[in-house]
Amino acid sequence: MLRMFKLFRPVVAGIIILVLTVTQLGYSFAAENESRSEVFINEASGVTETLKKLNVEEFNKYVLDFINKNKKAIEDSIINEKLDRFDISEIEFDIGTGGISFNFSAHYVEKILGIPLKITFTGKILAKLKASADYSQLGIQLTGLENFKIAKCPESVENAIKDYLNTVIPNVFFWQEGETPDGYVSCDINNLRNVIQGLLEKEASKTVMDITLPGGTVKVLVDTVQCDKFDIETGDVRSKAFISLDVNLFSGKSAFFKRFCSIELEADLFIDETDNIWLSVKKNVFTLKDGNEGLHKEINGYIEKELVKKFGKEKLIKLGGGIEIKGAPASNLSDRVKNGFSQPSSPCPVIQGNEITPEQEFVKENSLNRPGDPIVIKGQDISALNGINPDELVAFKYDGGWKQIPVQVDERAVVSVAKIYNASEKIMILFELAGRNDVSILTYTDRNTFTLGDPDKTLDSDDEIVFMSKDAGGMPADFSEPAGVTTGPAVRVVISDPLDKKGCGCVYLFRQDGTLDQSAGKQYVKYDFKLLSGDYKTTYKTGDGPNKEDSAVTTPYYSCHFSDRWIKDEIHIMKGSSSGVDILDRHKELFKPGVSTRTEDTFCEGAATGFPAEGCFTANISGPVRAIRSYMGANSGFITQREHIFYEDREDINTYLRVHPISGVVDFLDYSPAAAGMTYTNDLNKSGVIIDGKPDTLMQGPIKWEMAGGDQGSLVTVHNISSDIPGFSYTSYYLDNNNPQVKTDLQFTGDPYAYGASGIWVDKPIDNTDPTNGMAYNMILKRYMYFENPWYSTEGAEQYSLQSQNPFHITVSPYGNNGY
């Protein structure tokens, strides 16, 4: 027979969570002599000792031996001509996550004024355990550097050391073939889930609990059990399993009170040497669910006491014995799975934090219901395809056959700000006058700007790969491949929705043979960057402004327009029956209401005579899946940067504040008179107000989402603001006034009216966020803007907000018959 999955005989460990819900609990003092299944026991001869034989320690030693064998190789791979010593002192391995860390000390020799200087530094290197499916091969992938500490030395030397380490560490990988660990056995996971679920239902349905109450005993039966979640993390060394049970408990037909309560159990799952399946309870939590804690408080106490007694900590629960775990016969599964979930010996990463549900594990078709959401992964996530030409990457879905879908690769690199500005003499003088030093940032690259292309012209670790969730499909029944791709590495991307246990989809990435187009014949977004002065590199004034534009973004569902770097002055919504009128006056910026010293106009044209409007574009990209408009320069915020990322029916705006201390910032949309009649709502004011140019009073606070909706269409904006400034907070801003007279209501840019002007207001002083100006904090303002049908619901807006807080779970694994 095939034994329990991927671990060690005689015992397999996991975690099971059971939720028992009391739905109809009432007095019934009749003595009923019904048969009782002995599910709950205090002791079991031999079982306790069996549970102690968990071979986790043996596996931990197996892995640590492998790590120690490769310690010298890791040290040697990092040493260079100046790094003359690199010693790993302490190694830690987390068997639960596959995480590895190496503490180290090192020497670096640098000549200062011709004299060799030995510099000592220490730190920690992070790594991940990788493994083949049967753990007969183990790998170590170095991933990052932290806790870097260095003896006093010139800043340039410190930066050179860190840059070197951050460059070399992600490229270190070790792989070793060996023997399968003792006791390793496997089974089909889908079949195992069905077996465990069946046992739980069978045994729990026989359970009788006697709840002792004042004046008598209530006999409570488990009527039905529904396992709505059973999720096994196949890559976790402990093979965690999660089960959530809804159990209907009742006490007979007559009752004069009811209780709704639950007890949540956390337990380990074991199989002993004689094939008995056991739960060992580790933790339990009792919860009264109907909110009547004060009613019959004493009775609630009795209920809790008895439930906890039956399902208490350290209890052993026997589910069944002699269970044969067989391969699943499902026709949609591959031959590997049918044959007992065996896999070829290939570099298959240990999956971290995988929360895929049973319905999501084997994907038959795309059941994701977030069509406007993109899937963005980094090159480091598909390392098997690193090194190819970015244009060679293609994407496919499986839907009764292979179908190509559009995919886009956006290259990124760490680039000096001076380079992005074209290092003009005027810019360098401005930097020096402000006491600034040049810095480098990770940014999108564009050969048509001074950022230029990615120096690494291949698909590398920091590049982004993007496709749309709506284009996902299912899994093929075998390891076939589509026409037009090369034999070699390929990857499968499984997408699951944490908000929908049945929501899942699959996309496959291949290297094409030159006969395919990455766009698959589609273009979801069109971005026409049109600088009125002419070619960007020859005519754009990075040291001054204005630099007028007539740029536009167009999709089937919306369009918008820009007349200068920071000046977005049109939005048209075309989704459904939306009217398509221009509802935007400006996307505006202020220090605070009524203060005109800094606006989106001053960012583009200068604050005053003698104060130029330095600025530049980092990238203007128009691809088949998305368009990117990225720029920087906001008066004295030389490197304050904004990215607009346009998808088919959504726009993401990321603003990276990098400026000296300022008094605050208001980031808001001021709608045009054509927006009159729309209704404005947010999560603090769901009843809404009509946008009509007449003042309204709304509750202020740190809103999560806001929306303007009407016949014109609906614009939902979800906010995500992050900062490490101590005590950071923000509030909301709203103004509807077509005849502003008070200074704080005046409009300094665009038209003189305020129609539903709304957004985010950081109404407290902001500390330094400019890394060229000494110690700097971080502050990032993110907007997710969804273009929707007329009169979109507040429930829909709430759902968009929830989705932004719960992004897709992505699992990437090798694909193919050749070990990939």
Model confidence band, residue 269 (pLDDT cutoffs 50, 70, 90): low
- Using the predicted structure, report yes or no on whether residue 4 has a pLDDT greater than 50: no
- Using the predicted structure, report yes or no on whether residue 741 has a pLDDT greater than 80: yes
Predicted local distance difference test score (pLDDT) of residue 288: 57
pTM value is 0.60
Looking at 415-424, 429-438, 597-606, which range is the least confident one? Answer: 429-438
Cα(414)–Cα(445) distance, integer angstroms: 9
The token duo for 358 is 């049973």
645 phi and psi angles, rounded to 5 deg: -120, 115
**Which residue, among 462, 434, 552, has the nearest Cα to 170 in the 3D structure?**
462
- Using the predicted structure, report yes or no on whether residue 420 has a pLDDT greater than 80: yes
What is the DSSP-derived secondary structure letter of residue 42? S
CA distances from 139 to 8, 68, 343, 618 (A): 20, 12, 16, 38
Residues 6+ apart with CB under 8 A from 374: 466, 467, 468, 469, 625, 626, 647
Residues 6+ apart with CB under 8 A from 300: 259, 261, 288, 293
What is the DSSP-derived secondary structure letter of residue 180? P
Predicted local distance difference test score (pLDDT) of residue 276: 56
Q: What residues does each domain of the chain span?
A: 7-55+184-320, 57-177, 365-522+809-814, 526-789
Cα(87)–Cα(122) distance, integer angstroms: 9
The token duo for 47 is 């079982």
Looking at 271-280, 344-353, 371-380, 592-601, which range is the least confident one? Answer: 344-353
Looking at 206-215, 340-349, 540-549, 640-649, which range is the least confident one? Answer: 340-349
Cα(158)–Cα(647) distance, integer angstroms: 40
- Using the predicted structure, report yes or no on whether residue 191 has a pLDDT greater than 60: no
Contact, 624 vs 406, CB < 8 A? yes
Higher pLDDT, 562 or 14: 562
Mean pLDDT of 349-375: 63
Predicted local distance difference test score (pLDDT) of residue 51: 32
The token duo for 587 is 């996307």
Cα(106)–Cα(83) distance, integer angstroms: 7
Mean pLDDT of 771-797: 93
Cα(278)–Cα(274) distance, integer angstroms: 11
- Using the predicted structure, report yes or no on whether residue 720 has a pLDDT greater than 70: yes
Predicted local distance difference test score (pLDDT) of residue 773: 79
Model confidence band, residue 70 (pLDDT cutoffs 50, 70, 90): confident
What is the DSSP-derived secondary structure letter of residue 337? H
Residue pLDDT, tens place only, 278-328: 666 666 666 655 544 454 566 666 666 766 666 665 566 666 554 444 332
Q: Which of 210-224, 287-301, 421-435, 671-685 has the highest mean pLDDT?
A: 671-685
Within 10 angstroms of residue 586's Cβ, the number of other Cβ atoms is 24
Rounded to 10 deg, the angle between the 71-78 and 155-168 helix axes is: 130
- Using the predicted structure, report yes or no on whether residue 10 has a pLDDT greater than 60: no
Residue pLDDT, tens place only, 486-498: 988 899 998 989 8
- Using the predicted structure, report yes or no on whether residue 551 has a pLDDT greater than 80: yes
Contact, 347 vs 132, CB < 8 A? yes
Q: What residues are paired with 142 via a beta bridge?
A: 127
Range 526-789 has CATH code 1.10.760: no
Model confidence band, residue 470 (pLDDT cutoffs 50, 70, 90): very high
Q: What residues are paired with 754 via a beta bridge?
A: 737
Predicted local distance difference test score (pLDDT) of residue 626: 98
- Using the predicted structure, report yes or no on whether residue 99 has a pLDDT greater than 60: yes
**Which residue, among 441, 427, 457, has the nearest Cα to 654 in the 3D structure?**
441
In this prediction, what percent of the chain has a pLDDT beyond 90? Answer: 43
Higher pLDDT, 168 or 676: 676
For the chain, give the longest Cα–Cα distance: 97
Cα(721)–Cα(558) distance, integer angstroms: 25
Looking at 272-276, 298-302, 370-374, which range is the least confident one? Answer: 272-276
Cα(240)–Cα(355) distance, integer angstroms: 11
- Label the pairing between strands 85-94 and 374-378: unpaired
Contact, 559 vs 570, CB < 8 A? yes
**Which residue, among 674, 680, 676, 660, has the nearest Cα to 779 in the 3D structure?**
660
Residue pLDDT, tens place only, 456-467: 999 999 999 999
How far from chain centre, in Å, is Cα 415? 25
Predicted local distance difference test score (pLDDT) of residue 45: 32
Burial level of 725, CB count in 10 A (0-12/13-18/19+)? middle
The total number of residues written for the chain in this structure: 820
Predicted local distance difference test score (pLDDT) of residue 365: 85
Residue pLDDT, tens place only, 579-633: 999 999 999 999 999 998 899 999 998 876 666 778 999 999 999 999 999 999 9
Peptide bond before 546: cis, by omega within 30 degrees of 0? yes
- Using the predicted structure, report yes or no on whether residue 251 has a pLDDT greater than 50: no
Three-state SS at 300: helix
Predicted local distance difference test score (pLDDT) of residue 428: 62
Within 10 angstroms of residue 60's Cβ, the number of other Cβ atoms is 14
Residue pLDDT, tens place only, 207-248: 556 666 655 565 555 544 544 444 444 333 233 344 444 444
Model confidence band, residue 114 (pLDDT cutoffs 50, 70, 90): low
